[in-house]
Amino acid sequence: MNTREASAAFVAPLLALAFGHMLSNMVRTLPAIAADVLGRDLGVSAEGLASLTGAYHFAFAAGQIPLGVALDRFGVRPVSLVLLATVAIGGCIAALAGGVPGFLLAQIVLGLGCCGMLLCPMTMAAKLLSPAKFGLWSGLIQGVGNVGMLLSASPLAWLVEQQGWRAGFWVSALLAVAIALLVARLVPAPFPQPAAQPRPGFLHEALDVLRIGARPVVWPVVVLAFASFAAIIGVRGLWGGPWLMEVKGLSRIDAGAVLLLGTTALIAGPLLAGVLDRHIGRRRELLAAGHALAALFLLMLAGGGPEGWVSRLAGMAMMPPAADTALLFAFGLSISIQPLLFAMTRAAVRPEDAGKALSAVNLSFFLGGAVLQSLSGTVAGTYGVGAAIGFLAVILLFCTAAFLTLTRVSAFSRPGGPAAGAE
């Protein structure tokens, strides 16, 4: 096989798997653009809707431990196909849901189905690439996956406006089937090859996911991951739409356009993060700076509401929507340093443990998303949507500070340690 054929044999399966991550991002951010009609049809408040959609993240987090074991045991192809079939079923349940119990069940099924959509391409790349190259490719995977948030902005805003929120879930189910066919066609079985030697029992390997997550070289990443994804999904997946429509007075289509522009940063940003990692290599500093800036932009976004601190500084009753667009774009660009959390993790473990290590970090991502989204719903119900966004920003700052403190005394901070990312 020549170099071009070898490249195609790697890139085509990777992209097919990354399309699954794109689908999962579309599914979990759909409620942001349909929150008002979803809440009305289901008969729940904003706080209740936050709890319902939070079930997705709890199910997602619960799937991480068996997922990490399955990826290392069986390879990405069979795992990906099972997950895509589950998403198709969940999309149908959501589209047919007649009330709160049905929608809750749909969110749980969708969470379980989407729980490995990011880790399937990440595990494939982690097992086949050196830590030095993994940072760049992890950014590419995240960039492709974040196109799903683009689809859930203006295109799905138009679809929801024309056909209702159920149509969005029908589209998700059809896309799951299409991507499954693509994976079956492009991803060889098994790919990558699972280890042939005898393995310990499933329970032992499941506990290994937690043990790896508690290692001193991985724990700081787990702490920052807890708030990192929660900030993205809290803004882009739930509160962004209500903020723009209810607080700033935009129509659904106009709010979708603002979210669309802000989401472009979440597509370009991970690619930029990979390039910065490749040329600078100071992952600890890049991660801390990106997350701290993201928290600052969220605080400014919340402060731009009626009588907010940013509005008062600008001498205005409320900042115009153009300011929200700029801040959402800046937030997306800053938080997109996030793929380096996976690169840090990959550099800290052996290739054969990559699936379990990445699952430990992803567990923290989505456990944080579930817990903090539910808490933000309580904050929003008491103090308003702006307070919920500010709450996420404060937690993000706290976890960033904890990450810096923990890495100061871990192997990440030593020259030539895991953060160096070189082999």
- Domain locations in the chain? 10-188+202-420
Distance of alpha carbon 173 from the chain centroid? 19
pLDDT at residue 415, as a whole number: 37
What are the residues whose beta carbons fall under 8 Å from the beta carbon of 111, sequence distance 6 or more? 55, 56, 57, 58, 59, 60, 62, 63, 366
- Is the pLDDT at 59 greater than 50? The verdict is yes
pLDDT, tens digit (0-9, with 9 covering 90-100), for 107-118: 999 999 998 898
> How confident is the model over 46-64, as a mean pLDDT?
80
Identity of residue 245: M
- Is the pLDDT at 5 greater than 50? The verdict is no
Apex 396 CA angle, 293 and 341, nearest 5? 80
CB contact at 8 A, 94 and 107 = yes
Distance of alpha carbon 20 from the chain centroid? 12
pLDDT at residue 195, as a whole number: 52
- Is the pLDDT at 197 greater than 60? The verdict is no
Q: Which two tokens stand for residue 63?
A: 């799937």
pLDDT at residue 4, as a whole number: 47
pLDDT, tens digit (0-9, with 9 covering 90-100), for 251-286: 878 887 888 777 788 778 877 887 787 778 788 899
> How confident is the model over 383-391, as a mean pLDDT?
93
Describe the crossing of helices 339-348 and 283-303 by its angle, rounded to 10 degrees. Answer: 150
> How confident is the model over 190-198, as a mean pLDDT?
55
Can you give the length of the chain in residues? 423
- Is the pLDDT at 377 greater than 80? The verdict is yes
Reduced to 3 states, what is the DSSP secondary structure of residue 197? coil
pLDDT at residue 297, as a whole number: 96
**Arch. (CATH architecture) of 10-188+202-420:** Up-down Bundle (1.20)
Share of the chain above pLDDT 90, in %: 30
Of the listed ranges 5-19, 250-264, 390-404, the least confidently predicted one is 5-19
- Please return the burial class of 72, using the count of CB atoms within 10 Å of its CB with bins 0-12, 13-18 and 19+: buried
Q: For residues 137 and 322, what is the distance between their CA atoms, to the nearest angstrom?
A: 33
Cis peptide bond N-terminal to 190, omega within 30? yes
> How confident is the model over 302-330, as a mean pLDDT?
92
What are the residues whose beta carbons fall under 8 Å from the beta carbon of 343, sequence distance 6 or more? 131, 134, 135, 138, 277, 283, 421
Q: For residues 332 and 269, what is the distance between their CA atoms, to the nearest angstrom?
A: 7
